[in-house]
Amino acid sequence: MRDPSLLGPWVRRFLMEHMIHERNLAQNTQRSYRDTLRLLLPMVARRARKPVDRLAVTDVSADRVRQFLSELEQKRGCSIATRNQRLAAIHALARFIAVHAPELVEWCGQVRAVPFKKARRTLVTYLEKPEMDALLATPDLTTAQGRREHALLLFMYNAGTRADETAQVRICDLSLPQVPGRDLASVLIRGKGNKPRRCPLWAQAIRELSALVQGRGPNEHVFLNRCGQPITRFGIHTLVERSALRAAKRMPSLAKKRVSPHTIRHTTATHLLRSGVDINTIRAWLGHVSLTTTNVYAEVDLEMKAKALANCEVEGKKIGRPWKENKGLMEFLRTL
């Protein structure tokens, strides 16, 4: 590197070498880090009064990082979670530069000292069984598009997949039974960090997926949009939100909830828990790395809390009749 003080070459190495070849991070993570830098660098350039290509590493000072984070929240309306996600990308870049340029260790320490903001923990939103049934009933099954939409919603409820995971499923990832009722059916899901997991498929999901992929090549995406192209995660978000609006007409309680693809994922986990599936199986089903992440579903289910409380309730002592009212005993004493 000709001039190690310039930021541009470090950014290129960070995105092209470190993230792809050294870390092999998922595409979504790469895009998230890239988008952070696309927002950060113009802001730093404005304040440093330099072109972006002439920015020095030290121009990205801790104070400017704090100003950038404030702009995210105040001007762009980003949540604390998004703000912390952007900061994590900046910390990763600073750490990468410091490893390869020891003279910048002090700068790295100052940038990495910018703290994450504590976010308020919100309760997980999930759908009750009648609400989920109403959502599944919205597509028009008399049309090809309606059958595709129903199969997609049912698949997400079955497998508890994220929107991006659903969009990436290919026909070769489906293991459909040769003999229905005898062979086990499952789907290979590629989760965060390309971690694979297998999820079993329900009989109804098998029937609808079999009809959906019939006569198509193994490398094609399972779920297509109305134009016959692979559906994107943004298309899935739109489909779920549109279906929720329709379902709210027959199920008013849905109007009070923000329904997204992740809501269906939370619904899958909660319903599995209510059905008696152990928490570790649900962790593997959803592709969580830590059991701590899955434990949140045990905390949000008030119905299970109420049942557990009822089982632990201490029964009060029964108040007997006063001894004076026990006439049988008094008669017995008189006869002695």
Q: In the structure encoding, which two tokens stand for residue 2, read together? A: 């000709």
> Out of 33, 126, 157, 297, which one is annotated catalytic?
297
Token pair recorded at residue 92: 């990763």
- 262 as an active site residue: the answer is yes
The Cα 257–Cα 251 span in angstroms is: 11
Which one of 170, 190, 283, 288 is the catalytic residue?
Answer: 288
- Please name the residues in contact with 112: beta carbons below 8 A apart, sequence gap of 6 or more: 91, 94, 95
The yes-or-no answer on residue 86 being catalytic is: no
Is residue 265 flagged as an active site residue?
A: yes
The one catalytic residue in 170, 265, 266, 283 is: 265
Instruction: Give the DSSP H or E segment for 33.
Output: helix 27-48
**Rounded (10°) angle between helices 261-274 and 129-136:** 130
**Residue whose C-alpha is closest to residue 254's, from 145, 140, 137:** 137
Rounded-to-integer distance, Cα 221 and Cα 313, Å: 52
Task: Identify the active-site residue in 18, 262, 271, 283.
Answer: 262
From residue 143, how far is each of 122, 140, 185, 245 by CA, in Å? 39, 6, 26, 20
Q: Is 221 a catalytic residue?
A: no
192 given a catalytic annotation:
yes
Tell me which of 18, 148, 162, 190 is the catalytic residue. 162
d(CA 8, CA 298) in angstroms, rounded, equals 47
Determine whether 91 is an active site residue.
Answer: no
Answer yes or no: are the C-beta atoms of 134 and 247 closer than 8 Å.
yes
Task: Tell me how crowded residue 98 is: count the other CB atoms within 10 A of its CB.
Answer: 19
To the nearest 10 degrees (0 to 180), the angle between helices 62-74 and 105-112 is 30
Catalytic residue among 13, 192, 257, 274: 192
Residues with catalytic function: 162, 192, 262, 265, 288, 297
